[in-house]
Structure 1
Amino acid sequence: MTKYLVIQKSNIVTLAKRHMFLVLILLAIVFVSVSGFAWNEKTVTLNVDGQTQIVKTHLNSAEGILRDAKISLNPKDAILLSTASLENGTVVTVVRAFPVKVTVDGQAKTVMTVQTTAQGLADELGYKAPNYVPLEDGNTHLTSNSEVTIARVTSRSVKNYERPVEVQVIRERDDTMAIGQEELVQEGTAGVESVEEEVFYQDGKEIKRQILNHNEIKKMVPTIIKVGTREAVVETSRGTVRYREVLTMEASAYLPTDGDGRGITATGMVARRGVVAVDPDVIPLGSRLYIPGYGMAIAADTGGAILGNRIDLLMDTYSEAMEFGRQSIEVYILK
């Protein structure tokens, strides 16, 4: 009897140990599952319709994440990932399909696509080379409501010829020159290149030409022009003033009583110091001027002998006019 009780107690202890072991295993499984679930959490950025949204998720498919974010997709929309697979930090971008009018063999239809080039759209629709070709440049960028014409190709040929390369004009900024000033640094010359061109035909009629490659025969030399970027200002007795152009002119002097003696200028202004006579084809009447050694002036008079880069300055006295005589001066046309 005593021996039986000992055996019974031993069985109970064994069962208890087994139960404890099973409980520990279950707890381990739960812990691993929970910790694994937490470890699998990732932060993903969604770019949709111009809006950015950051979400935390345990899902492993972009479609599922978008569905959870209540973002609907149209059949032709595309999903782009910034990484090879969905992971923490991935940027998910939804590219919305847009309508493009496509004409094939005279039949027009509107399709939805995310393709950005005419050739890409033609390929997507199954109109591939060498049997079909888009009549537009294959790299033409497509936008909503673009039009693409795809033609059937029945034959093609390759042509080789030479053509001139137009002179490129390079304008270099130069802050040592005033705004509006330019200086020719290098006179350009045209180049020559050989061209290999493919010509497409439909039933004997040419429908498109496409450059296959081109090689330089004679190098094009660009024209180089320095362009002033320094703000054009000049110091005067009234302070710093801005000017738009400076001209070197041949100057002479005259008196208010010259001409018909009435002392009235061609614009009706009273003749006085500060009024100058100009050729209106060179300096428009009414222009404000600054002349070093003379001062501020206004172009308000004309004269029969004042043609081209000639200017006549009104002086107060005969002796001042005689002393000035005739000389070359700089004339700043103010803004």
Structure 2
Amino acid sequence: MQNETPAKPAPFHLWLPALLILAGLILILAQFYGDYTLLVNGGKREARALAFTSGQLLRAAGYSLQPEDTVFPAPAKLNLTHRTIVLNQAREVTIHFGAEEKTIISAGALPANLLFEAGLPLFPEDLLLWDDRLLSPNEPLPLGDALQLEFVPAKRVDLQFETETLTIFTQQQTLGEALNEAKISLRPEDALSRPMDTVLSATNTISVRLAREISVQVGGQLTTGLSAAENIGEALRDLGLPLQNLDYAQPDEKQPIPADGQIRIVRVSEEILLQTEETAYNNTYADDPNAELDTISVLVPGQIGLVVTRQRLLLEDGVEKVRQTDGPWKASDPEDGILGRGTKVVVRTETVNGETIEYWRKVSVYATSYKPSSQGGGTGTASGIPLTKGIIAVTLDWYRGMKLQPVYVPGYGRGIIADTGGGIPGRYWIDLGFDDSNYESWHFWTTLYFLTPVPGYIPVVLP
């Protein structure tokens, strides 16, 4: 039996790679095995483990990771240097706003970030409450436990001025309160598209027209004031100077207010002038037994006819601008009337020159006088009674209806109608008889009284 030769050890240079690999493995194990500090949801604990990543370490420590958790360093990244591992575990966060709510799974701690994750933008004046306590947007919230938050979004008010838009956010209830809170002062003349007591909704768009100074020239006077009107007509109403009737403004009332704010009102008035021309009517006469003798009554009143010409004058600020003539046209035809001649005899008494007489008619007459010598010395009369004082002559027309009627003439005395004469055209006339011895010259107006008894025939109209 041959003796076996013992195997020779492998040369050292062949062992060296293996030794280096082993040493490397030992170094690697030493690098990833050891003590770690875990900060979980703000709490601190210690752990010893062999872990190549923070995720392996946390799982080794008994934590189940969710996609929404935040881990530092990243859970799947090889951890070569960090001995402190941070884990913020996601939890359920319910955000209530109005009648709605949103629930998210998040590891976020800041309210602003939680709202962002929920798709709820945060604006100034928005409110966030936790357990009825007001939160700051950057105030950290507890981690780990589920949260119930109440979000009260501010109302947005967009104020649209002529050249810009101003946006404010508010928790106030009405527009006026919101403007006051934002220290936006408006004058009473400024115009808002909605009233100050408008209850605000979530979003509000308000048009604002700021008042400007307006100067109005009217009737020689200048009136100034403030108005936010869009046109001249509205501005005039704001200043208490509305256009009336035919008035007009310069520029026109439908035009926007000029840049210089200057407006003129032209007061327009209309006058109607009526020129009338009368057309006469005629009267007929009829006896009126209810009217006294020698009086005229109106039985049927007559109506004059009218022919009218109308002129229409248009005046601007008192100055005539237009004159238009219409006509003439017949407004009415004349209507004849009926006058009553009184036939009613009334016996009266009167004291004349101290003598009381009873008469039934008296007439104003022009009296002259005559005597026998003025007739060639004769005393003959129409009645055959010799001429002497008391004989009174009248015209033939009178004599025929009044022969021998007793009469009285003041200053002459009693007499009878017993003669005729020529008379004086256009006048009632009597000629007073005298003797040559007692003659008086008469040439003036007097009154002739017809004395009782009343005769059977009485002329209604004295000829």
TM category, shorter: 0.3 to 0.5
| Structure holding more helix per residue | 1
For normalisation by structure 2, the TM-score amounts to 0.25
Instruction: Give the structure with higher Rg (CA).
Output: 2
Q: Which has the higher contact order (CA 8 A, sep 6+)?
A: 1
For normalisation by structure 1, the TM-score amounts to 0.32
